[in-house]
Amino acid sequence: MPERSGFELRFEEAYRRYLDDAPDLDAVDLARSVALAHPRRGRWWPVGSAWPAIAPFGRVGWALILAMLLLALLAAVLGSGALRRLPAPYGLAGAGRIAFDTQGGHVVLMEADGSGRRDISARTGGDHLPTWSPDGTKLAFWRATGDHFAIVVTDPDGTVETSVLTRAPTPEYAFGGYAGGAPGPLAWAPDSRRIACWMYVDGLPRIHTMASDGTDLRAIGDPRIPAIDPVWSPDGTRIAFAGMGDFFADVGAAPDSTGLYVMNADGTDVRRIARVPHALTERDFYAFHESQWQPGGDLIAYQADPDGTEMHVFVVAADGSGTRDISLRVGGGATDDAWPTWSPDGTRLAFTRQRSDVVGYQVVIVEIEGADRFTPDHPDLRGAPLTWSPDGTRVLGYTADGTSIIDIDLTGARPARAISVPFDQGARWQRVAP
């Protein structure tokens, strides 16, 4: 292999420093680096043995011009977002904007401190359940359109909008208590290229996946298992979901098809990994809803009532082994524990616990590999899914009356504070590069 020239080595070094956002390198520095990479003696013109005859600038002058042209091209690419620095799909990340839906069916963006609120929905409303892509570059949500729902994907500012799915039907008996009757939260694949959701097919809910632009829509899994609330594995090869057979026996559901399931991302190899020994009723309707796959791991957290009374929080390996009752481990079981949510680094779980002294819920934080329990001080909350900040230092909860989001600082640096917003189903936090 021929020895690389000083120009090549110097330009590569300068280029890498530029991509790494080195604060001490600007356009002039890059041009100077390229020019100095070439000695003033000898020829390096890559297409021939001499400089172009029309060039009156000399070798150094042409080197500077070439560097500026390369830099202009690089700036155009960076401006288009193709080389934008992105966060990893899981793990700790920077905390960007918060997106939430209102009781009037509008999606609103705001800064982490509650400032800068901006409604990105159409005047007619009907928008619900916003969800950020793992790389923080897109926001997806459901939009009610007459007797159907559309999936809308926007850029992170909410200014460029694409309707990627326009015919998600809602039957007469809308299943679940989701916002506006929308078919449950959307789930982004770890690489931010696909979206999973559930929609009705012949009276039964089924998991669907599609590319983020709406193409390649597929109904996956066993069509006889009523399937809701998909969640991707960290490597994007599997999907976990809740089977709700007990509620669809009269419309063709397979017998004994309630519980927590895992399947391959193409819908093959459907396996149940958790169940309860009794039929679900309206009282324990939310068992197995919105299970959560451990970031970077192979554990799945879910809620279920093992004896038909109080809801507990469990974790189980994706192959169905090693089920652990987290509620009993940290002093629960007498009241409902529900809605487990993993910290971004996968080391802790946050969930809501029904208070025994007053009406309302509190937040419980547990180390997944220990018995430590942390209950931060905060106002009484609604029993609903919590939201971690991407940097793992804060948790968002919600007041029972739907008037405020409660921002709970887990570091103890400040008390919990209420952000007054007329939210509906909750909020989601954008991941950005740290």
Query: Which residue do the tokens 């089924």 mark?
Result: 206
What Cα–Cα distance (Å) separates residue 147 from each residue in 3, 77, 229?
Answer: 68, 42, 21
Q: Please state, in angstroms and rounded to a whole number, the distance separating the CA atoms of residues 254 and 270.
A: 13
Q: What is the mean pLDDT of the chain?
A: 82
Q: Please state, in angstroms and rounded to a whole number, the distance separating the CA atoms of residues 173 and 329.
A: 38
Give residue 18's pLDDT: 44
Give residue 212's pLDDT: 94
Residue 317, burial from CB neighbour count under 10 angstroms (0-12, 13-18, 19+): middle
Which position has the higher pLDDT, 403 or 41? 403
User: What would the two tokens of residue 20 be?
Assistant: 């790494």
Give residue 103's pLDDT: 83
Summarize pLDDT for 311-338 with one digit per residue, the tens: 999 999 999 999 999 998 887 667 789 9
Give residue 147's pLDDT: 74
- Quote the pTM value: 0.80
The DSSP output letter for 254 is P
The DSSP output letter for 381 is B
Please check whether residue 34 is in contact with residue 25, taking contact to mean a CB–CB distance below 8 angstroms. no
| DSSP per residue, 143-184 | EEETTEEEEEEE-TTS-SEEEEEEEEE--SS--SS-GGG--S
Q: Please state, in angstroms and rounded to a whole number, the distance separating the CA atoms of residues 253 and 288.
A: 17
Residue 41, burial from CB neighbour count under 10 angstroms (0-12, 13-18, 19+): exposed
Please check whether residue 289 is in contact with residue 303, taking contact to mean a CB–CB distance below 8 angstroms. yes
Using DSSP's 3-state secondary structure scheme, residue 300 falls into strand
Q: Does residue 14 carry a pLDDT above 60?
A: no
| DSSP per residue, 26-48 | -HHHHHHHHHHHS-SSS---TTS
* Averaged pLDDT for residues 190-204: 93
User: What would the two tokens of residue 232 be?
Assistant: 């991707």
Q: Does residue 239 carry a pLDDT above 50?
A: yes
Please check whether residue 204 is in contact with residue 148, taking contact to mean a CB–CB distance below 8 angstroms. no
How is the chain split into domains, by residue range? 6-80, 96-432
What percent of the chain is predicted at pLDDT more than 70? 76
Q: Which fold has domain 96-432?
A: Neuraminidase (2.120.10)
Query: Which residue do the tokens 């937040």 mark?
Result: 363
* Averaged pLDDT for residues 119-125: 86
Q: Does residue 83 carry a pLDDT above 70?
A: no
User: What would the two tokens of residue 311 be?
Assistant: 């809801």
Q: Does residue 352 carry a pLDDT above 80?
A: yes
Give residue 72's pLDDT: 56
Give residue 369's pLDDT: 85
Q: Does residue 56 carry a pLDDT above 60?
A: no
Mean pLDDT is lowest, of 50-54, 231-235, 395-399, for: 50-54
Give residue 164's pLDDT: 84
> For the chain, how long is the longest CA-to-CA vector?
89
Give residue 3's pLDDT: 54
As a residue count, the chain comes to 434
For residue 119, the cross-strand partners are 108
Which run of H or E residues covers position 325?
Answer: strand 324-325
What Cα–Cα distance (Å) separates residue 194 from each residue in 131, 190, 213, 232, 266?
Answer: 13, 8, 8, 10, 12
Summarize pLDDT for 258-289 with one digit per residue, the tens: 999 999 999 999 999 999 999 898 878 899 99
Q: Does residue 141 carry a pLDDT above 70?
A: yes
Which position has the higher pLDDT, 69 or 88? 88
Q: Please state, in angstroms and rounded to a whole number, the distance separating the CA atoms of residues 12 and 5.
A: 11
Q: Please state, in angstroms and rounded to a whole number, the distance separating the CA atoms of residues 406 and 380.
A: 10
Torsion of CA 95, 388, 128, 300, to 10 degrees: 130
User: What would the two tokens of residue 6 be?
Assistant: 């000083």
Using DSSP's 3-state secondary structure scheme, residue 351 falls into strand
* Averaged pLDDT for residues 231-252: 95
